[in-house]
Structure 1
Amino acid sequence: MIRPAFRFGPALLFCPADRPDRYAKALDRADAVILDLEDAVAGEAKQSARDALVAHPLDPERVIVRINPARSPHREADLVALAATAYRTVMVAKCEGPEDLVGVAGYEAIPLCETASGVIAAPLLAAPANVCALMWGAEDLVASLGGTSSRHPDGRYRDVPRSARSRVLMSAGAAGAAAIDAVHLDLGDLEGLRDEAEDAAAVGFAATACVHPAQVDVVRRAYLPSAERVAWAREVLDASTAERGVFSFRGVMVDGPVLAQAEATLRRAGERR
């Protein structure tokens, strides 16, 4: 099986699956919507959420469905509902090992590494051929460690979540899968979200998950390279056609990795060479 490509844009918006009145609005605002059967839905509303998932279809090319963890009593019913839809991309909550992906072999899978065990298992979770991306989560991770806060008072991540973020990104990249950055829960801190999304794009994340529509445009802009960076990428790639091996461009050494970064910049900008 050929690993499926990550086919979604950079701004993914969570939407509670028990709120079908929000489905179309969420999809209209974001590059893709994550219809959530897990944390966003209370236990007593789980079945109505599944019913809504089936009864209110959206474009399957732009939908991810988050199902409950393998150890949850809701998991099997989630899979039954999913099978009654045209959706083919599933996010599996609180994955802690490949055994948690049983039952989703026929889907493009996104394991969510949001516990200590899940982060440690990230290389194994990225390995199956149907995995198109890994995502990580800070709040459940810290809770799984008995902690009380993922961030410093100034909004920066503490060292443990930062380490988990890097491990998930590198595990995904090593397996040829994409990586999705965690949500920014402080809805008023759009500047902090912008900084995190710009960093995510710079180091290779494919997308950032959002929890509010106001975050979507911030993320999109952060993933879009600046005009200056795009111009540099074009020029350095043009210069490379006349050079052999390592060369100097505007006083900076250019080699294969720098050219690969230039190509990635143009891909982010929607250009192909």
Structure 2
Amino acid sequence: MTTMFFDGPADNSLVSGSSLGDSQLSNAWLPAGPALLFCPADRPERYQKALDRADVVILDLEDAVSPENRAAAREALIANPIDPDRTIVRINPAGTGDYRRDLAAVSETNYRVVMQAKSEDVASILDTAFQTIALIETPLGATRANDIAATSNCIGLMWGAEDLVAGLGGTSSRFGPGEPRAGEYRDVAAWVRSMVRIAAAAHGKFAVDSVHLDIDDVDGLVAEVRDAVALGYTATACIHPSQVEHIRAGYQPSEESIAWARKVIDGSAEHGGGVFSLDGQMIDGPVLRQAEVVLSRVAERPADADA
């Protein structure tokens, strides 16, 4: 049986007022690397294969599984354990029968991290009683992203474009062929992507960028990963093993960036942490922190990244 994070009932009084942002897990789970690969929970023969290819596997009990197969998927989840430190279980939205059955199934495993689909309120995050990644993918969830990120057992945020657009009554999250900026996110989707990143950062939680559905569009994936890294995303989710190498490569700093960051760190030490000039660039506190982030990504490089 897994050890749950929060044993009490969901009580809104626990998250009212300023206490909402004061509760942080001291040993919160973090992704083992930047590539998070979805795997249907009703395909247990793929569990270990997915984990071997990616840094983290997301065993999906929601959209990847048809409603009639969800009971079998939960049975497979229990009967086919993989490394709990590198596994997330995506559960169905709060308020559904599948949601309760999903939580019951996860409680019979050693998994301790769930991703709540269509997260929309604080109470439902607390109610999971697990470390929870809130998936922001509905209009209501988007308007509440800040409060959700502040919830004590919310350890991170991810966002989703397609359910968001469906909830808006729209038809496409991206500009299509023949339109300016073809392949890029439309403005509303891009706004939610930005807001989720800001909400996560405001409360010290990690953020996961959304999947790139066009598997053959490698250039588009690479561009989005580059942008995600620049904005401080911790990881990017994906739907196909072929996308993993591009995500890992994107989160790994270039040799030039590493050399620059080391010069910044060394220069800061020489100047006692004060402002100084390096190759014509003024180096102050914010730039120093950016250099530290670059070097932290080097330390986080997966052992098999060159395999």
TM-score by length of structure 1 reads 0.97
Which residue in 2 is equivalent to 1:83? 107
Which residue in 2 is equivalent to 1:131? 154
What does 1:88-237 align with in structure 2 at a 5 Å threshold?
A: 88-105=112-129, 107-153=130-176, 154-237=182-265
Q: CA 1:60/1:141 → structure 2, altered by over 3 Å: closer, same or farther?
A: same
Aligned with 1:117: secondary structure?
helix
Residues 229, 251 of structure 2: 8 Å contact kept: yes
Question: What is the CA–CA distance in structure 1 between the aligned matches of 2:80 and 2:295, rounded to whole Å?
Answer: 37
Q: Which moved more, 1:9-18 or 1:237-246?
A: 237-246
How far did 1:5 drift?
4.5
Which residue in 2 is equivalent to 1:252? 281
Which residue in 2 is equivalent to 1:53? 77
How far did 1:132 drift?
1.3
Question: What is the CA–CA distance in structure 2 between the aligned matches of 1:27 and 1:189, rounded to whole Å?
Answer: 23
How far did 1:130 drift?
1.6
Which residue in 2 is equivalent to 1:10? 34
Q: Could you list the runs of 5+ residues in structure 1 that have no partner in the other structure? A: none
Which residue identity does 1:264 align to in structure 2? V
Which residue identity does 2:46 align to in structure 1? R
Which one of the candidate residues 2, 27, 41 is aligned to 2:51?
27
Q: Which ranges of 4 or more aligned residues in structure 1 deviate by more than 6 Å?
A: none
Q: CA 1:15/1:54 → structure 2, altered by over 3 Å: closer, same or farther?
A: same
Question: What is the CA–CA distance in structure 1 between the aligned matches of 2:188 and 2:77, rounded to whole Å?
Answer: 35
Question: What is the CA–CA distance in structure 2 between the aligned matches of 1:99 and 1:8, rounded to whole Å?
Answer: 28
Q: Residues 33-73 of structure 1: CA distance to partner in whole angstroms, max 9, x if unpaired?
A: 00000000000000000000000000000000000000222
Q: Could you list the runs of 5+ residues in structure 2 that have no partner in the other structure? A: 1-22, 177-181, 301-307
Q: Residues 139-190 of structure 1: CA distance to partner in whole angstroms, max 9, x if unpaired?
A: 0000000000000122100000000000000000000000000000001001
Q: Which moved more, 1:195-204 or 1:237-246?
A: 237-246
Which residue identity does 1:247 align to in structure 2? F
Question: What is the CA–CA distance in structure 2 between the aligned matches of 1:239 and 1:102, rounded to whole Å?
Answer: 45
Q: Residues 222-242 of structure 1: CA distance to partner in whole angstroms, max 9, x if unpaired?
A: 000100000000011101111
Which residue in 1 is equivalent to 2:18? none
Which residue in 2 is equivalent to 1:36? 60
Aligned with 2:270: secondary structure?
coil
Residues 134, 154 of structure 2: 8 Å contact kept: yes
Which one of the candidate residues 267, 292, 307 is aligned to 1:239?
267
Residues 61, 74 of structure 2: 8 Å contact kept: yes
Aligned with 1:160: secondary structure?
helix
Q: Residues 253-273 of structure 1: CA distance to partner in whole angstroms, max 9, x if unpaired?
A: 1100000000000001117xx
Residues 78, 108 of structure 2: 8 Å contact kept: yes
Which residue in 2 is equivalent to 1:264? 293
Which residue identity does 2:146 align to in structure 1? P
Residues 34, 236 of structure 2: 8 Å contact kept: yes
